[in-house]
A and B are shown apart, each in its own frame.
Chain A
């Protein structure tokens, strides 16, 4: 199916296994290490695919995931030991990206995907029915509509579940049988689908989101958990924010703001400091607010500031344009976060060289 799609007209966003088909093939060529059943590559080669590297013939594999090596190694080893993998992290930490590439490298197919939403029904994990056929012929295999998970089990592939915690709890629980018994009974037909070797499941979840359905401990126990960290250095994060803001800005027809780079750095600094609970110079500890303060939020603060500057200001991003946005991102819980923010303003921002305008803007926004 994906093949035909590519042939007819290029997809807006091709699947990982298609976009990097040549790298995967090159890796498969040189890979002489033992492969677990139905894996396209050995664990070592999967890790190389994700982290990048150079193959013996000089073929360069581009890095797909930039971050600690440990993360990828643990993730691949988990899949190799037949355990389900749970990728946790705040938005914008490349959970989905990593899961897609893992599935592509391990099974050569990243499309067996269940998207978790509040409306996800049990059918999307187990199976549904083609009702026309069901009514016409009664329950039969032909009338059965298999879910991605069921297909993965039958074919020994890697299934993916996105945003696991957004699913209702009872739907989540349907996964327990799948993961522990490795079987999916179909009582209507009096049969079951047993997973063949090679089947595995990668789930992603957002660990600091409010209003989600916590995983039950029974389900949690069946996963190995890998927490994806936020960007390690401020520079890297500024880079990500600036790039993303640039992209968003151009699609919203906002003017580019080269002078705003300082402001972006400031926003990222504030976010990082509050998130980590310590100032950049490592000298002062801080309370952390209840919000996530993810990179994604920093991006939206800056974009919002740009819009303000463009439409109501002189087009230059200034402290005043981002102050309100920051306040909104930081103070989620008016009681406790307000104190956190005030303390931060008084103890850190106020004394920082060259941040006077920012301090003033924030004070004004707070009132």
Chain B
């Protein structure tokens, strides 16, 4: 199917027609060697000019020969750069390499030129089959749990073998490495070629950067800048289109004469392969009708075609390991071309390069106009006069620095001084939007399936879940390995926007932190989603990790809760590599978050994650640290945030207070226990010794209680919150009965405004009135206060009181009523405050009847003990967290 899809697009493989131009003006003899700098717009322009002048009959490009099959797609309108040629091992999508191409890449310009004219294009680098096979350090990128991919994925039957099958199918030795689970771009730093195969960070070899060497000779400390000055900025001039290539070729020859392979040992292999392919093409189409676009570094090696024996090259390439490799196109972005995104091609400023390539003339003037446009969009006033001055300053700077033309550095300095008023803030925006740029490539539908699709299929088989169009419900028991793997897969796919499964409430109503219910349905458009997600990586794990990281980093400011939710999602999807990034962002956001409410909202989810981290065996150290830090921030921030709130604000803040309190309790659950354990927090920080000691659960809890105490006693805090704090403290058991009574009496004393006092009562009593039933002193206080409320104020406090008491269960309400009727008010005030308990409540015996309670106690003990034994850590208050968890996940 895939073969037929792009059949129409297959490029011609035989030589194009000979043209007169060739005989007229080709280079003296031999093929046209166009040595370029990958992603150099100046190179791209020069390549176009050279191709147009010489019209070769066959075009050879540095890249994996497997790409020959799909190169025809490059001519289609639906193909919009930036795109990348992606080679991957069929049975192991994690082994992959990318060759990104932007519209200003010389290779892309050459390919487009050739495909549109029907000139055959061939890739001549070492086949990806070998280079991928060489990447030994590749792991499955799944640490644990994931069953190894069973089922090899039946061999794909697109029999049309690499169309180039020349003589040299010999396997080759050596190869490039790929980063485990990471695609990567190639070096724009000149000629460290094949884009996809840039070395992993830990690579041993010290490689010579040819451009740096040349730049050093020319007295530049920055190779990029030297290249800009020497090549990119030399525009115009209708001289020999080959001149730049000749000059650069000569320079490289000199360089290689001195440095040999410059530490690029694999280059010898690659160049041997290139030479073989070049000879072959030259035989078919004539030496003069052949053009090669490759990194300038390789030009000397290809030029010595005559001096190198064919047999020597073949010998070199013998016996290289091989895997089944496939090549396809994937969309790419400017951002990924840039340095900082990790997989980048190492170009700091793709947007700037794109601009240089696209601008017909006056690049600096056009650039400044573009920048001004962007700034105006952002309501930053920029006049034409500004633009004029910015251009003038950029040019003056260039003159002063002795550069032929203002480059990005000069433009940036000028933008900062003139357009941004010295500030780096708008400059960051310009960098983001223009210098790096936001271009996103597109690939026609006919492109072969991406490896991510393969990986999805493999994973589906591995966990025995068939995609089906009919909806069905799936209950997972996370304690089982397969189910846990299923859950992870579904969560990861969701993260990638592939909503195959949606978490659902279980019909059976079975609950537990180890249970999950999903509603599954595979819609056809999900395949499109998968293809879109291919941008993120070649395996589900890797793509989900990359996407989670990027989402975290790019989350707009003030969306703390989103990042928390993302962290939770990362845990559920088991993405240990993404978690540190997300946590880091979370910690940063939390630090800068000015609204305590947001912090308090984010905290519960985080603490919940921490608990599930336990269930799912995730390392929760980082999480504990962040949660602890956030709790500390909430603690510091709450008192000022509570001061001077209105009714509405106080009500909202009470919600935050309760949520944060629950979270802190959960976080420090064991801290108050007799053993003095440290709770969740302590577990995470235990290894850190001193830190653990300082910020242990116990420390946090005592700090938290101190904060509650402060709030309870501070006058400027609204009554609702004060009352709530007293109640929380009382429930904590760290407020003696007398103290609570004193505080209540203070709050309800005649001097306090009735509305404020009623709010206090509401805060104190919300969430259960049993307290009043059991402590008659408190009831008496409330009672006395209520009867003392002046008539005119009574109507004001009535709704508040109604709301408070209306929430009590009817039994409690009735008991309270009876108590009041019979109680202190009726007696005219009881003599001893504690007498109520001794005399018993209406309907209750004075004490506990042990004999009658025993059976019930036994049952309870059984229930608790049994549950604990079975479910371990999460048995204790099982229903609570499960409910909470649902809220978040659905």
Contacts and interface: CB of A to CB of B under 8 A. Distances in A.
A220 B421 CA distance: 8
B296 interface: no
Interface stretch (B173-181, B629-637, B814-822, B834-842): B629-637
Contacts of B400: 43-44, 47, 73, 76-77, 80
Interface string A205-228: 000000000000100110011110
Contacts of B636: 339, 342-343, 346
Most chain A C-beta atoms within 10 Å of own C-beta, residue among B592, B632, B636: B636
A78 interface: yes
B396 A226 contact: no
Q: Which size class do B's interface residues fall under?
A: 35 or more
A224 B393 contact: yes
A351 interface: yes
Nearest to A36: B396
Main secondary structure of the interface of B (DSSP, over half): helix
Interface stretch (A156-164, A187-195, A279-287): A279-287
Interface in B537-590: 587-588
Contacts of B635: 346
Contacts of A15: none
Contact of B422 (A73, A88, A284, A342): A88
A200 to B, nearest CB: 13
A35 interface: no
Contact of A81 (B392, B629, B633, B637): B392
Contacts of A76: 400
B68 to A, nearest CB: 47
B214 interface: no
B385 A81 contact: no
Interface in A212-254: 217, 220-221, 224-227
Contacts of B418: 83, 224-225
B423 A83 contact: no
Nearest to B409: A70
Contacts of A277: 592
A292 to B, nearest CB: 16
Contact of A74 (B393, B399, B629, B691): B393
A313 B532 CA distance: 69
Nearest to A225: B422
A350 B635 CA distance: 15
A346 B413 contact: no
B633 A343 contact: yes
Interface in A20-42: none
A338 interface: yes
B695 interface: yes
B396 A335 contact: no
Contacts of A78: 393, 396, 417
A73 B640 contact: no
Nearest to A338: B640
Interface string A328-362: 00000001101100110011001101000000000
Interface string A91-105: 000000000000000
Contact of A224 (B385, B417, B629): B417
B381 interface: yes
B381 A217 contact: yes
B450 to A, nearest CB: 37
B379 interface: no
A287 B396 CA distance: 39
B653 interface: no
Given A44-B400, A88-B422, A346-B636, A70 B413 contact: yes
A179 to B, nearest CB: 12
B397 A83 contact: no
Contacts of B413: 70, 73-74
Interface residues of A, number: 37
Nearest to A277: B592
Contacts of A77: 393, 396-397, 400
A360 B670 CA distance: 28
B694 interface: yes
A212 B141 CA distance: 58
A47 B532 CA distance: 52
A225 B591 contact: no
Given A221-B385, A339-B640, A347 B396 contact: no
Contacts of B416: 74
Nearest to B691: A351
Contacts of B386: 221
A145 to B, nearest CB: 33
B266 interface: no
A351 B393 contact: no
B421 A225 contact: yes
A221 B386 CA distance: 8
A93 to B, nearest CB: 12
Contacts of B695: 350-351
Nearest to A80: B396
B591 A284 contact: yes
B587 A335 contact: no
Nearest to B635: A346
A347 B632 contact: yes
A226 B422 contact: yes
B775 interface: no
Interface in A31-67: 43-44, 47
A358 to B, nearest CB: 14
A284 B413 CA distance: 30
Nearest to B636: A342
Given A43-B400, A73-B400, A221-B383, A81 B389 contact: yes
A278 B695 CA distance: 20
Contacts of A221: 383, 385-386
B637 A73 contact: no
Nearest to B593: A287
Interface string B356-385: 000000000000000000000000010101
B591 A287 contact: yes
Interface in B679-693: 690-691
A227 B592 CA distance: 24
A355 B860 CA distance: 50
A364 to B, nearest CB: 16
A346 B591 CA distance: 12
B414 to A, nearest CB: 8
B397 A73 contact: yes
Contacts of A342: 636
B782 to A, nearest CB: 35
Contacts of A346: 632-633, 635-636
Contact of A83 (B393, B588, B694): B393
Given A70-B413, A76-B400, A285-B591, A347 B629 contact: yes
Contacts of A286: 591
B868 interface: no
A142 to B, nearest CB: 39
A227 B591 contact: no
Given A287-B591, A343-B636, 12 more contacts: A47-B400, A73-B400, A76-B400, A83-B418, A221-B383, A221-B386, A224-B389, A224-B418, A336-B594, A339-B636, A346-B635, A351-B694
16 contacts: A43-B396, A43-B400, A47-B400, A70-B413, A73-B397, A74-B397, A77-B396, A81-B389, A81-B393, A83-B389, A224-B417, A287-B591, A339-B640, A342-B636, A347-B591, A351-B694
7 smallest A-B Cβ distances: which pairs? A225-B422, A227-B422, A285-B591, A77-B396, A285-B588, A224-B417, A342-B636
